[in-house]
Structure 1
Amino acid sequence: MSILLMIALLFVLMIIGVPVAAALALASLAFVATNGMPPMIVLANMVNGVNSFPLIAVPFFILAGSLMNTAGITTRIFNFARAAVGWMHGGLGHVNVGASVIFAGMSGAAVADAGGLGNIEIKAMRDAGYDPDFAVGITAASSTIGPIIPPSLPLVVYGVIADTSIGQLFAAGLIPGLLMAFSLMLMVAWYARRRDYPRDERFSLRWFALSFRDAFLPLMTPAIIIGGIIGGVFTPTEAAIAAVAYAMLLGLLVYRTLNWRNILRVSMDTVETTAAIMLIVAASTIFAWILTANQVALHFANGLLGITENRIALILLITLIVLVIGCFMETIAAITILTPVLLPVAVQLGIDPVHFGIILILNLMIGLLTPPVGMVLYVLSKVSGVPFERCVTATAPFLVPLVAVLLLLTFVPALSMWLPTLAYR
């Protein structure tokens, strides 16, 4: 079996509904079996793929985000964002983006943002008379900020695959995440003018102070995680454990909104989610190993250089490839497969691995808003009751500012590299 047949088999299996992890494993096994390779290679590579200390951070960041959701902390965050930016025209649209920025520093996952804050945000916007399509569109787009601003599960996985500092990746994601928020708020302002969306309420210093007091301890979560990592107090893995301990402290002792039954349920959900992610990482590791062993990265680089030697054109071509693949493949699987193939090409073009990681993840986050995979759209369709097809059309206009930020980050590396350079180099 050739590499092209293996890739074709993978996409056929995914199209007919086979789970991503199973499709990756079956395609890899078919290649190994038909090329006379010992089957134990598959198991050995799958085990090595998940035998990584930094990956321990994945379940803890998932658990921390779930505990924050269950403890009702998302409501406090939403109220603070409402007091801070709700006075602007189209206020609840701005609140939607602001709350996502804050929650991004706790969860690190777009789906968690969409499922946790999304329910609160869409209901509030509907009650205030906003169009359901606008509410769904801005909620979907703002949820993609989660995996860019640290902590970020995709950046952890990329750091492991690319053998790149996760601390530097976290530092690199902060400014791009804020740029995404700013671009989306500009889009909200444009919609507010066209549709005459109201202010939520007039700015009140008293309400702002009260909401800040209520949200102060949750707002400290990003400071603990990011400050601790950049300050060298703990590693990203230790930061994930600290985030869980802090979430439990808030839920059990401070707000008393958590009980042991809730913790057990959230823990079981975390186990289930982590198992799914680790299966995808393990299966995609063997797939990526086959690609690497057959020098696919070298052939791919030569193929691109055969098309054009213009650096800008090559970068745009790589961006387009990732955007298309992101429409069809789950994020973690795409990172594990694409990184060994595309990173050597990016380095050859003079792109820093940390910078490339931010470009890759933002590309794939945009893929979460596009069919047929579009996990965020499926979650919001369920949360809002809006049909999936309407979610797709409602989100489409908000892809414009996200793609604009992607291109800006791609061609102005300093936007993502300034903080890592300042903190680590």
Structure 2
Amino acid sequence: MSALAAVAILFGAFFVLLFGGVPISVSLGVASFVTALAFLPWDDSTYIIGQQMNVGLESFSLLAVPLFIFAGNIMNTGGIARRLVDLALVVVGRVPGALAHTNVLANMLFGALSGSAVASAAAIGSTLHDRQREAGYDPAFGAAVNIASAPTGLLIPPTTAAIVYSTVAGGVSVSALFMAGYVPGILMGLVIMVIAFVVTRRAEYPKAARVTSSEAIRCLFRALPGLLLIVVVVGGIVFGVFTATEGAAVAVLYTLVLSLAYRSMSWTALKDVVTRTVVATGVVMFLIAASTGMSWVMAYTGIPAAITEALLSVSDSRVVILGLMLVVLLVVGTFMDITPAILIFTPILLPISEELGMDPVQFGMVLILAMCIGTMTPPVGSVLFVGTSVSGESIERVVPKLIPHFAGLILLLIAVTFIPALSLALPGMMGLLE
């Protein structure tokens, strides 16, 4: 049976199940098993798929995922968001539309600490929503800025997206991916701030009240313990003091102690944080296990090689093929969350990008940035739904306000794709690229 038939069976079964309302992880597992049955006997298919799902979780680096999820949930509950918002307001308070810029900067800071776009959209959005409404901001515009900037934390380290990609991509350095995320992540925030500046200047939204030097210093010292987490965790991982998994454990301990010191974490809240972490971890780990089975089926049937050959035969132009890849990723992002998208499409598209001379670290940044855009687009954008929920605005009112951000971020995605230095310069300077 040909690779083309395998593609039809695998993705046909997957999308039929997915659009039938079956969870993504179950759809992955069933589609993989059905495809294996087309090539192998029942006993072999059952044994191999089960074995591969188990093997997919036998990775020490994957322990970092639940630990970073735990640390992010602690920060979302532990009073750190409020301190970061106050610091961000001091930094950008005198710029027209100060609260919009504060939202972006606070999301960049909190997202970098928590590594979760959803947690950032919820924490920062709920903290700033009432302030923006009182200052006369259009609530739909405020929600759009919050939604567009919340995914910056998926690029700015530490981020579980980079860890998952590293595992699927065959051991690409987590340290290199962490360093590669800084420039695209910061540029993503700046793009949103430029768009917000244009909108707020036209609407004549107010600046924040001037703060005294003593107030600015107080805000800095209140936020400093949280900011030091980035230095401790990312610095420790990059300079080899500890692994990504050990860094995640340090992040949990650090944020827990900090939240207790702030007296913002009760035992009841901690119990809720643990419960949410366990549920989220179960979902992510089952996704990883199921996608590992799918990856084996694709490799066994020659699907990645067939897709690579098909795409490369479309045109001799590197620009055209990379453009097609970006279109595929942007379309995928509209109906699939970032973790399953990374798990499914890395084995398919990474070989194509390498054939075109793209470094695996750069491709990781392109993939994650494309999925960041997907988190804010209907019909499945998780950040879109959380951001509209905390703002109380309808999706119909918020999406038109997001269109300028979509345009700006797609231009950034093109730049990251065709200018390798945006993602590779920093890890290259630090000697992290192979």
TM (normalized to structure 1)? 0.97
1:248 aligns with 2:252: no
Which residue of structure 2 lines up, in the alignment, with residue 219 of structure 1? 227
- Match of 1:386, SS state, is coil
Deviation at 1:397, TM superposition (A): 2.1
CA distance in 1, matches of 2:288, 2:55: 10
Alignment CA distance shift 1:20-1:391 (3 Å): farther
Which residue of structure 1 lines up, in the alignment, with residue 398 of structure 2? 391
CA distance in 2, matches of 1:238, 1:3: 39
CA distance in 2, matches of 1:414, 1:35: 43
CA distance in 1, matches of 2:292, 2:398: 33
Match of 1:310 among 304, 311, 317: 317
Deviation at 1:221, TM superposition (A): 1.1
CA distance in 1, matches of 2:283, 2:212: 45
Which residue of structure 2 lines up, in the alignment, with residue 172 of structure 1? 180
Match of 1:237 among 245, 253, 258: 245
> Contact 2:6–2:303 (CA<8 Å) still a contact in 1?
no
CA distance in 1, matches of 2:293, 2:281: 19
Amino acid at match of 2:287: I
> Contact 2:100–2:196 (CA<8 Å) still a contact in 1?
yes
> Contact 1:167–1:235 (CA<8 Å) still a contact in 2?
no
CA distance in 1, matches of 2:17, 2:133: 39
1:45 aligns with 2:49: no
> Contact 2:107–2:149 (CA<8 Å) still a contact in 1?
yes
> Contact 2:376–2:382 (CA<8 Å) still a contact in 1?
yes
The within-5 A match list for 1:176-325 is 176-252=184-260, 254-325=261-332
What is the aligned residue count?
424
Match of 1:7 among 11, 15, 21: 11
1:137 aligns with 2:144: yes
Amino acid at match of 2:68: F
CA distance in 1, matches of 2:72, 2:101: 22
> Contact 2:18–2:27 (CA<8 Å) still a contact in 1?
yes
> Contact 1:136–1:395 (CA<8 Å) still a contact in 2?
no
Q: Deviations over 1:281-303 (max 9, x none)?
A: 11111112211222222111211
- Match of 1:258, SS state, is coil
CA distance in 2, matches of 1:423, 1:214: 31
Moved more, 226-235 or 392-401: 392-401
CA distance in 2, matches of 1:377, 1:105: 19
Deviation at 1:307, TM superposition (A): 1.0
CA distance in 1, matches of 2:131, 2:431: 42
1:409 aligns with 2:409: no
Amino acid at match of 1:180: M
Match of 1:89 among 90, 96, 102: 96
> Contact 1:71–1:257 (CA<8 Å) still a contact in 2?
yes
Q: Deviations over 1:253-285 (max 9, x none)?
A: x21222333222211110100000111111111
> Contact 2:162–2:364 (CA<8 Å) still a contact in 1?
yes
1:339 aligns with 2:346: yes
Deviation at 1:391, TM superposition (A): 3.1
1:374 aligns with 2:359: no
CA distance in 2, matches of 1:110, 1:359: 17
> Contact 1:251–1:258 (CA<8 Å) still a contact in 2?
yes
Amino acid at match of 2:180: A
Amino acid at match of 2:340: A
Deviation at 1:321, TM superposition (A): 0.9
> Contact 1:105–1:149 (CA<8 Å) still a contact in 2?
yes
CA distance in 2, matches of 1:138, 1:186: 11
- Match of 2:152, SS state, is coil
Moved more, 241-250 or 121-130: 121-130
CA distance in 1, matches of 2:125, 2:257: 25
Which residue of structure 1 lines up, in the alignment, with residue 111 of structure 2? 104
CA distance in 2, matches of 1:284, 1:110: 22
- Match of 1:224, SS state, is helix
Which structure 2 residue ranges, 5 or more long, are not aligned? none
CA distance in 2, matches of 1:146, 1:26: 32
Which residue of structure 2 lines up, in the alignment, with residue 64 of structure 1? 71
> Contact 1:343–1:356 (CA<8 Å) still a contact in 2?
yes
CA distance in 2, matches of 1:371, 1:171: 30
Amino acid at match of 1:16: G
Amino acid at match of 1:79: D
> Contact 1:292–1:341 (CA<8 Å) still a contact in 2?
no
Moved more, 24-33 or 359-368: 24-33
Q: Deviations over 1:184-241 (max 9, x none)?
A: 1111110012211111222532321111111111111111111111222111111111
> Contact 2:112–2:154 (CA<8 Å) still a contact in 1?
no
Match of 2:355 among 319, 343, 348: 348
Alignment CA distance shift 1:228-1:159 (3 Å): same
Moved more, 346-355 or 196-205: 196-205
CA distance in 1, matches of 2:408, 2:209: 26
When the two chains are superposed, the root-mean-square deviation of aligned CA atoms in Å is 1.4
Moved more, 390-399 or 206-215: 390-399
Deviation at 1:360, TM superposition (A): 0.4
- Match of 2:54, SS state, is helix
Deviation at 1:6, TM superposition (A): 2.1
CA distance in 1, matches of 2:175, 2:189: 22
- Match of 1:185, SS state, is helix
TM (normalized to structure 2)? 0.95
> Contact 1:87–1:203 (CA<8 Å) still a contact in 2?
no
CA distance in 2, matches of 1:395, 1:319: 20
